[in-house]
Structure 1
Amino acid sequence: MPMGERAAFACDPGRSRGRLIAEPEATNRSAFQRDRDRIIHSTAFRRLKHKTQVFVYHEGDHFRTRLTHSLEVAQIARAIARTLGLDEDLAEALALAHDFGHTPFGHAGEDALDACMKPWGGFDHNAQTLRIVTRLEQKYADFDGLNLTWETLEGLVKHNGPMDRPVPRAIADYVARHDLEIATWPSLEAQVAAIADDIAYDNHDIDDGLRAGLFTVEDLAAVPFFGEMFREVEERYPGIDPSRLIHEAVRRLIGDMVDDVVAETRARVAEARPRSVEDVRGAGRALAGFSAAMAGHDKALKAFLHGHMYRHYKVNRMMSKARRIVTDLFALYMAEPGILPDGWRRSAEEADEAARAALVADFIAGMTDRFAIEEHRRLFDLTSGDL
């Protein structure tokens, strides 16, 4: 397919299923461009600056945050979408918003909040993303949320594929009034955003882990494909500076993984022969993804990172603190809703237990790392005079 030509199975903004609240279309932007712009201008997007992946915000200026990660995912998603003739703006919008629902402190914060919310159905970051873009962002005069198109909402909810039971309550409640067809596969744009997330995650965790000294290039040597790339760069550029070595290897790895996804997706599309986005949704399998060989490499890397990075004692210590911060704040807000800020306080005091728990989870999930740490200090350090 010639570069720039729209594929028959791509999402077409001119044929969007529309928004929950009808609005006049923009004169100079497509529906998906408008979604992307609303996402960029949202409060939730700005908060990603101080929400972390692995490292907490104060541990170094050069480590990734949720914001920089989302920008990297968006770049990769656009590149793949452009090559495959998909709608780049939709793929970019999904990439930029996919982490909105994450708590402070990465997966440790989410695990802690999920444990706190167990009596009320638990916590799920995808469901929280949907709550943010349909309810919690409150800046528009005519509606709560961002009033995004059906296609963007579908992609945010289903980017990992059809939803299995049980469906998180926030998603089930929303789907009851605005059906996102959660039992089908999403568009190829959503599938591309999801695989771009994997590519970005793999490579920026290699980059951050090496620069943080959690593991070495020599440690990585045993990991198929990834270790081989570092060896190739070292052989091509003897004596190369370690910082340049990391960057050169990572950029090549990203390029090769993108090429693999493009080739594999084209092969799957050729086999499935979709003629529309509805054919993609009804294909019964993902049409975008890694080849079997690359999927094996991806699995091997994740196993390596789990042992050498995510369970490194330095990371474990910070994550232990993070879990305690989230757990302490949740328990205190539930017991004493009067200490919540105005607005949140009034709603919490008037709510029953389940509604109060959901509201407290919304408040904590929206925190940045920095705010959560400071809030915990204000409330639990008896020598603090801050309010």
Structure 2
Amino acid sequence: MYADADRQRLVVEPAKASYVEGSSGHWRSEFARDRARILHSSALRRLAGKTQVVVPFEDDFPRTRLTHSLEVAQIAREIGQALGLDPDITDAAGLAHDLGHPPFGHNGEDALNAISGEAGGFEGNAQTLRVLVRLEAKIVDGDIDAGLNLTRAVLDATCKYPWPRRDGSAKFGFYADDAAAFGWMRRGAPEGARCIEAQVMDWSDDVAYSVHDLEDGITSGLIDLRDAANDDTSDDVCRIAARYYIDADTDYLAATFARLLAFPVLREVASYGRDAAASRSGRVALKRATSELLGRFSSAAVTSTRARYGDAPLARYGADLVVPAQVAAECALLKACAFKYVMQREGADTLQRQQREIITGLATVLRDCPEHLRDQYADAHRRAVDDAGRLRAVIDQIAELTDGAAIAWHRRLCGN
């Protein structure tokens, strides 16, 4: 099912065994080794301080990029296992999928992209590949810094957008100076196609994002499902979904949203209004709704994929994940609901502007005063042969920072 080429690493490493005391010995697979490398990486730990939707540490409940990644990995593992994929591959891809996200989430991503044009732009998924194949310290072989030196199959499973930067597209999978690593990873793969493990990771990300961000918004008192059922609000949610999350007619989305809000578990949550988290019974109702939606979205993809391909184990480029149109629409509508109530809440635009100013201010200071760069980024800046390379070192440094670190650096270097 998985060939030797799938287990290859850019830098050849000796075989390694993990021995479990008291047993006859247990050998980890190469894919299990990759999962462990990602789990123990500093890049994953930093996600604890990076924005998901609600700002980290604004409350003691909302998720961070780290908790989100752990949830994506769990969903991806179960879907992968049900489809006969290697569960360590889909688990590892779920853990790794957000490693390249900068401080302040997608808002920080937009800010970095706006100032990095001459270096080839910024994209969180391309940055994830860069972290995995270059920035995270694990394997060095002569002049080759191979990052975590993951297997081809696991590395490919983390790649949502297997193509370079294109005119008119904000999404791409690698920067020009990571092209060699990308080419090695994609050897033998159909051009522009994603392996099924990457599709599982991507759908698991959508599932976790849509359901958990809705849960966080309700718990924080920002989302009221009674209000969401109003015609004007429903129209807004459907327009947001059609603009950002799915190619679908708004009338179809409106009918889907009405059916979704009529689910008994969501009607029960709606009965609490904005006070769902104020009582134990409300929290139980919300958790029951979260569980049911996660199960619905995950099982629908498994059932539909099995219906098309049968019961044989699947892997790599032998199949595609099948997500029913209605379920994809429901997922998009939940994301749009969180967008409307959380990302467009009063004061959010001011906060986002301040976050972009922090990113821009840091970039300006670090370009003018590169002596403030740390360790490998200072080295990369010194070794760079042109302004684009020096700017990329600055961008890499900023992208690594947590939200709190970015604020502290800005206060220290910019004076406010």
TM-score band w.r.t. shorter chain: 0.7 to 0.9
Alignment of 1:294 onto 2:334: no
Residue range with higher mean Cα deviation, 207-216 or 167-176: 167-176
- The answer (yes or no) to whether the contact 2:209–2:335 under 8 Å persists in 1 is no
Alignment of 1:96 onto 2:129: no
**What is the deviation of 1:74?**
0.9
Deviations, residues 17-42 of structure 1 (Å, cap 9, x unaligned) = 41111112333110110100010111
Deviations, residues 122-160 of structure 1 (Å, cap 9, x unaligned) = 101111111111111124464540110011111222x35
Instruction: Please give the residue correspondences for 1:160-199 in structure 2 after superposition, counting only pairs within 5 Å.
Output: 162-163=162-163, 166=166, 168-176=175-183, 179-180=186-187, 181=189, 183-199=191-207
In 2: Cα distance, 1:290 partner to 1:276 partner? 16
Give the residue type in structure 2 aligned to 1:163.
W
In 1: Cα distance, 2:379 partner to 2:195 partner? 41
Aligned twin of 1:211:
219
Aligned twin of 2:69:
70
Give the residue type in structure 2 aligned to 1:200.
A
Unaligned runs of 5+ residues in structure 2 are 18-26, 167-171, 235-256, 273-278
- The answer (yes or no) to whether the contact 2:199–2:321 under 8 Å persists in 1 is yes
Aligned twin of 1:369:
403
In 2: Cα distance, 1:363 partner to 1:226 partner? 43
In 1: Cα distance, 2:3 partner to 2:33 partner? 10
| TM-score after normalising by structure 2 | 0.79
Give the residue type in structure 1 aligned to 2:6.
S
Q: CA RMSD in A?
A: 2.8
**What is the deviation of 1:173?**
4.1
In 1: Cα distance, 2:387 partner to 2:266 partner? 57
SS at 1:73's partner residue?
A: helix
Give the residue type in structure 2 aligned to 1:269.
Y
In 2: Cα distance, 1:293 partner to 1:45 partner? 33
In 1: Cα distance, 2:98 partner to 2:271 partner? 37
Q: How many pairs align?
A: 363
Give the residue type in structure 1 aligned to 2:330.
H
**What is the deviation of 1:375?**
0.7
In 1: Cα distance, 2:40 partner to 2:314 partner? 31
Instruction: Please give the residue correspondences for 1:18-29 in structure 2 after superposition, counting only pairs within 5 Å.
Output: 18-27=8-17, 28-29=27-28
SS at 2:57's partner residue?
A: helix
Unaligned runs of 5+ residues in structure 1 are 1-10, 383-387
Instruction: Please give the residue correspondences for 1:70-149 in structure 2 after superposition, counting only pairs within 5 Å.
Output: 70-140=69-139, 142=141, 143-149=145-151
**What is the deviation of 1:212?**
1.7
SS at 1:58's partner residue?
A: coil
Cα 1:127–1:148, aligned 2, differ >3 Å: closer, same or farther? same
Deviations, residues 93-117 of structure 1 (Å, cap 9, x unaligned) = 0000000000011000000000010
Aligned twin of 1:303:
336
In 2: Cα distance, 1:350 partner to 1:19 partner? 26
- The answer (yes or no) to whether the contact 1:224–1:297 under 8 Å persists in 2 is no
- The answer (yes or no) to whether the contact 1:91–1:190 under 8 Å persists in 2 is yes
SS at 1:321's partner residue?
A: helix
Cα 1:226–1:358, aligned 2, differ >3 Å: closer, same or farther? same
In 2: Cα distance, 1:45 partner to 1:371 partner? 15
- The answer (yes or no) to whether the contact 1:163–1:182 under 8 Å persists in 2 is no
Cα 1:98–1:279, aligned 2, differ >3 Å: closer, same or farther? closer
Aligned twin of 1:202:
210
**What is the deviation of 1:215?**
1.8
| TM-score after normalising by structure 1 | 0.85
Aligned twin of 2:239:
none
Give the residue type in structure 1 aligned to 2:13.
E
In 2: Cα distance, 1:377 partner to 1:81 partner? 45
Aligned twin of 1:33:
32
In 1: Cα distance, 2:133 partner to 2:362 partner? 25
Instruction: Please give the residue correspondences for 1:45-64 in structure 2 after superposition, counting only pairs within 5 Å.
Output: 45-64=44-63
Cα 1:139–1:267, aligned 2, differ >3 Å: closer, same or farther? same
Aligned twin of 2:389:
355
Cα 1:234–1:63, aligned 2, differ >3 Å: closer, same or farther? closer
